[in-house]
């Protein structure tokens, strides 16, 4: 089953990301509920992740090659620990998100390595400037909400994954160790 087709070629909407562990998803969702949001569509906690690289619509026949290229990416050699300590609103995109005040260099190097590995595929979506974030709500059209407790979450990742986005749900297709 695919998201769409181009001509007669089936496509899947794909992205690379760091998954959010279940306990942390729950904690972030609880913190978000305490914000009392009155606008936007909350992202389901099961979908919480930190995007590394959005690929967009990828032909089904190309997914194996994408996975082969991802398997060759030079990784940090250690688990990534990313502080999600900043609540922010992206007004043009209508997104409320958690982000790091300072992105770790190891994270930025991983993203760059993935971008380089995906260059031969010429994914148009892959040309955006990278801004690490975890999306809390979409269609958000209000100022940044005030929080009684500032965000202090740490995403620890030992693997990165290729995800499929299908009908509002995300599913891991493959993953690779960072260590």
* Residues noted as catalytic: 49, 133
CB neighbour list of residue 138: distance below 8 Å, 6 or more residues apart: 40, 41, 43, 94, 95
Would you call 134 exposed, middle or buried from its count of C-beta atoms within 10 A (0-12, 13-18, 19+)?
buried
| Token reading at 118 | 């995906």
| C-alpha triplet 118, 43, 153: angle, nearest 5° | 80
CA distance 123 to 14: 11
């Amino acid at each position: 089953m695919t998201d769409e087709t181009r001509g007669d070629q089936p496509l899947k909407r794909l992205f690379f990301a760091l998954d959010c562990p279940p306990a942390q998803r729950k904690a972030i969702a609880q913190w978000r509920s305490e914000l009392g949001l009155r606008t936007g569509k909350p992202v389901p906690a099961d979908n919480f992740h930190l995007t590394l690289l959005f690929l967009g619509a990828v032909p089904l026949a190309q997914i194996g090659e994408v996975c082969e290229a991802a398997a060759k990416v030079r990784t940090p050699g250690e688990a990534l620990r990313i502080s999600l300590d900043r609540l922010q609103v992206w007004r043009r995109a209508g997104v409320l998100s958690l982000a790091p005040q300072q992105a770790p260099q190891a994270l930025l190097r991983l993203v760059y390595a993935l971008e380089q590995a995906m260059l031969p595929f010429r994914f148009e979506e892959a040309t955006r400037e990278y801004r690490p974030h975890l999306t809390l709500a979409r269609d958000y059209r209000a100022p940044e909400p005030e929080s009684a407790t500032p965000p202090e979450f740490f995403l620890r990742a030992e693997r990165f994954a290729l995800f499929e986005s299908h009908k509002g749900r995300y599913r891991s297709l493959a993953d690779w160790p960072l260590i």
